[in-house]
Every structure is written in structure tokens, then in C-alpha cells.
Amino acid sequence: AQKITQTQPGMFVQEKEAVTLDCTYDTSDQSYGLFWYKQPSSGEMIFLIYQGSYDEQNATEGRYSLNFQKARKSANLVISASQLGDSAMYFCAMRGSGGYQKVTFGTGTKLQVIP
Amino acid sequence: DAGVTQSPTHLIKTRGQQVTLRCSPKSGHDTVSWYQQALGQGPQFIFQYYEEEERQRGNFPDRFSGHQFPNYSSELNVNALLLGDSALYLCASSFQTSGAYLAKNIQYFGAGTRLSVL
């Protein structure tokens, strides 16, 4: 079974500052993928960034980077230079190996960017 | 390039009724997954369809059923609605790959259907 834990129900960050959203995971799979999604109040789940368990480098996508520490089973999302439009729910998720594509989500972190 | 589209956007039903939600996947995608997201929670996996067959199912009762059509679009049906079925229902599409890149298949989500059961 897979489990995602996000311990920060809510976070505040000043505009233009960087913020780190925490995520830890648990799985018995050797090969797995980690994802971060953003969900604005409109409801749509927007894909942000992906990290594979065998990737040697941390993933980056524009202002988003994923701090992957495999031994600690953590996959924290770092957002640099926060913008007001970054205010949303953020979900960490994972998929294991095995031929199927079920994705397991955490409970999310609500990020609010303060002007 | 159209993304994942879901219809309707909102629905209000009463207990005991049946509902059908629809999803059209992103162009080029062949796999559709359905998720239920209760208020304040993360999405929970309901089931996944590939090649018109259900190939994986989460912990949901048989009242939840689905279908995938030859054009890869999909429907989610819920029978005998309960108050607890009130939620945002999200559809996600992806393209089936195999081997070492399996875990990288990215699921792209629609905006969801918000179902209220009264």
C-alpha cells in the first residue's frame, strides 16, 4: 500500500518569497513516481512537477522544484518568488509500479500568498 | 489542443437517485481514471478504464460503475445516491506506456463535476 503525508494544513508566504511545502511518502515499491498538483478554487487539478524514484537529479519546472530525499522518503515542493496566483491547495501524490496508474494523494496544503 | 473535459459542471440530486457523469480525455490519451474528492480531502481513486475495461478499482461499492467508449471517453454512474456521495468528481486521462517509464505517466485532470445529494 502507498501512503502520502502532508503535515501542513495551511501555509502563508509573502509575495516574492520562497516557500517549501512538505511531503513524506511510504511505499514498498522500488520504482515509483512522485507528483505535485495545484488545485485553485475552481477545482481543476493542475500538474506541476514529477520526480521518478530513480532520477538522480531533483526535478525543476520553472519556479517549481522538488527536493527529493529518497532515504528520508520525502518529496518537498519548493516554490520560488511566490506570486498571488500561487494561492491554492497543493497536493502531493505518488504512483507505484505494477502496470496500473492508480495515483494516491495526500490531504493537501492550502497556500496563501500575502501581498 | 483540448484538455480533459467533464460534464456537467454541477449536479443536484436527491437520495436514492442515479447519476451519470461524463468525461472526454485529452487528445491522444487512452486511459481514464475517476476520483472522488470530498470537501477538505485529497482525491480518492474510484477506478480506471483502459481499452474499454475496468482494470483497477479503489475501495468503492458496486453502486459506482463506469464505462469507456471506443473513442476513449468515459462515464461514471452512481446508483442509489447517498448523502455521503456529495463530492467533487474528477476525471483524469493519461497515455498508457510500459516498462521503465510507467511511473512517469502523468495524469491530467478535468475541472470536475460537483455533485450535491440532498
Tell which of B109, B114, B115 to mutate to test the A interface (max A CBs under 10 Å): B109
Q: Can you tell me the distance from the alpha carbon of B83 to that of B81, in angstroms, rounded to the nearest whole number?
A: 7
**Which positions in chain B touch A106 (Cβ < 8 Å)?**
42
* Separation in Å, CA of A77 to nearest CA in chain B: 17
Does A49 contact chain B (CB < 8 Å)? no
B53-75 mean pLDDT? 95
Contact B105, B96 (CB under 8 A): yes
Q: Can you tell me the distance from the alpha carbon of B21 to that of B67, in angstroms, rounded to the nearest whole number?
A: 11
Q: Where is mean pLDDT largest: A88-97, B78-87, B95-104?
A: B78-87
Close Cβ partners of A71 (under 8 Å, ≥ 6 residues apart): none
Q: Would you say residue B27 has pLDDT above 60?
A: yes
* Separation in Å, CA of A111 to nearest CA in chain B: 14
Query: Which residues on adjacent β-strands are paired with residue A109?
Result: A90
Local confidence band at A88 (pLDDT 50, 70, 90 cut-offs): very high
Q: Would you say residue A110 has pLDDT above 70?
A: yes
